[in-house]
Structure 1
Amino acid sequence: LSIFQKLNEKTGIVITNLNIADAMNRQGKPEAIELAGQALQAAKEINNPNLLSYVYDKLSDFYAGNLDYAKAFEYQKKHEAIKDSLFTAEKERMLAEVETKFQSEKKDRDIALLQERAKVERNRNILLIVLLVVFLIVIFLLFFMFRYKSTAFKRQQKLLEQEKIIHIQENELTNKEKQLLEEQLESKNRELASKALEMLRYNDAISSIIEKLENLNHSLKENPEVTKPIKDIIRELENHNKQNIWSEFDKIFKNIHSDFYDKLLKICPDLSATEIKTAALLKLNLTTKEIAAITFKSEGGIKTTRYRLRKKLGLSSDDKLVPFLMQI
């Protein structure tokens, strides 16, 4: 007690006095009530509800021990009142703490929710930006592809037009070349036909000479020394005429129709020399009579040769021999 008094520790003094009063009360000393009253006064000065409630509780016990139940009840009521007040205050404090904690947690939840929303919003914005970038890239690619295809289409159209022009020019050139070749071929065919007619006239002249020599030989038949040389001349003229005229004609024909014989023999390899000559003359559209005069054959022989040609070439009765040969 003296230590608390030196330190002026009022709470310690009150509690110590109450403990002393409690001990004195158990010993039955009446001074206990007075000492407890001093402790009560000191507790009121301190204004500590818990300490004051404790003092009221002790005084209630002291008076109850002295059988003063009215005082005991009075102090017990004060003790209960302070206790209830303290309980209410504690309850309010606890409620305030709970409320504060709730508000704090709510605030934390709100902050977390706001952060989550901000995160979601940020992610959504990022996604929108990515989608926008992808969309722009797709639009750019589509535009590029469209432009590329458009350019490629125009280029292709231009190439097609150029190819068409080139094709037309090539056709025109081909037609001109074909026309020129046809004209050249026609000119050479006319030359060849002219040569054939010349051969025909030459043959006629030789034939006339041979005929005159034969008449002369017939008139001089009684003179063998004269007729024999005449016969030799006639044979020599006939052989020379046949070989020389055909050789010259064949040379010109091959120069104009260089592959005719090869194509003809490819169709029918077993054609005879007479049949080949006849086919060449038929290609020039010469008549049977003209061919007979050139080849020193009879018209019947030429007709027979034509028949064999048709058969070997596999022509039907509806096929024309001359047009067929002219196509080779």
Structure 2
Amino acid sequence: MIKYTIIFLLLIFISSTGFAQHETLESFRGAGSVKAIESLTELKKLYAKAIEEGNALQEGQYLQQMGKVCYNQGHFRQSLEFYLKAEKIFNTTNQSLLLAANLSDIGILYYYIKQPEKAMKNYLLALRIYQKEKNRKGEALVFGHLGQIFEKRQRYDSAFYYQNLALKINNQIKDKSGAAKIYENLGSIYEDLEKYDQAYLNFRQSLNLYQEDHNNLGSIEVINNLGDILRKTGRYKESVAQTKIAMQLAAKMGNSYQLASCCRDLGKAYELMNQMDSAYHYVQLGYRHTLDLYSEDGARQVAFLQVLYDINKKSDEINMLQNDKKINRIIAVSATIVLILLVVLGFVIFSRQRFKLKDQQMLSRQKEIEHDLTSLELKNLQLEEQQLKQQLEVKSRELSTHTLNLIKHNQFLENLRNTLQAMVKDDKRDQKKQMNQILAEINQSFNHERNWKEFTQAFEQVHHQFLENLKKFSLELTSADMRLITLLKMNLDSSDIATLLGISTDSLRVSRYRLRKKLNLEQGDNLTAFLQAL
């Protein structure tokens, strides 16, 4: 029994770590997240076409959709940038309902990045527009969002007030999906207040409406909530039955996140029932689903970042083309002015010979003014181009940083493997077989070389000139040397570099010494400073 308890607690820790990073985002991800990259790519093409055609309304709509895609993938900064651009367009084109929907989406974004004041401000702006346009569905949606903010602030009276307003409107307009969500929110409030009977009734009402509306994802979440209520009230067998129903639906939909969540809940229930074998089985199964989720998300995130990079690059190219058009217009206007002045000058010379000198002086001054204006405009365009290049450099560095974060996931598995290896060396032989099995599973989940390959590709894109300069100092650098050089270039601490390379700090010092010799550095020269200067 003791050995199962130790293993169970260990896997609970691993599983809960994974869920903590996903529970915020996965609550609003739909089944279409797999196609996020394709959607973003298609929206990018349509957005570029709208710009070429000068269709401002479509520009705003495509920006709003790109903001939703980025939001659903957890890229909040990029999402906010798209939303704000869309808001500006909707304001100038007087698209009130589109503006209200956009403000509501911005409010949701601020809510998830824990800026409730900004979220509240955008919700209220959206609410005013919906009320002015008499859009009841929009009003209900915003009332529900306001109720969630007050719930998080533990102001439950206000939370109940706004949720009930939303529920009243949804019942009036017969919006089953909207009403189901509000009942779910009310159940959550009662659960916070530990009024489990009322929470259960609201969750049950929400489930009935979701099922009538054939909303399987919403049904899974509510069934899980019902299982939680039953578990908290000591009805463990009923809790297990509810959670297994949710698990079957999640498996049918192929939703890895919900499967992992169900396994975690089953593990807790069986632990409370003191059935540690079953608890261990489901927590271990949930851990496997979590690893699958990490692997899928990691690959999608890298590809998604590449698409965002391409979009920003394309936007820069469009801006450059627009700047070129401005320059061409300036040149055309300047040429026209010069031509007109020449014609006027010829007429003056022909008709008024005695004012020839005066007219020539006036023309000369006008040319100087035109030259100064043209030079000033060209300087401004050069400054704008430089700023665009700097922005592209920043975005490239962000790509490199995100890729490096993928590598750091292996640090967690490395520490866990070392801990389990220490447990295997213990004299308790009855644990070794299971510990070795867990070690084998962890070793299979390692993807070190692929992460290094992705990091190296991203690094070469950002620091291409650095690598070219490095070749001037030595052609004998190995792949291990290059890994050490890239990490030193990123200006990481020695302890972090040793962890990422999987070596001790003493071995790192030896590697740095050998690298200095290959680069022909003199004694006293700082290796890190040398690499930063390249």
Rg larger in structure = 1
For normalisation by structure 1, the TM-score amounts to: 0.43
For normalisation by structure 2, the TM-score amounts to: 0.28
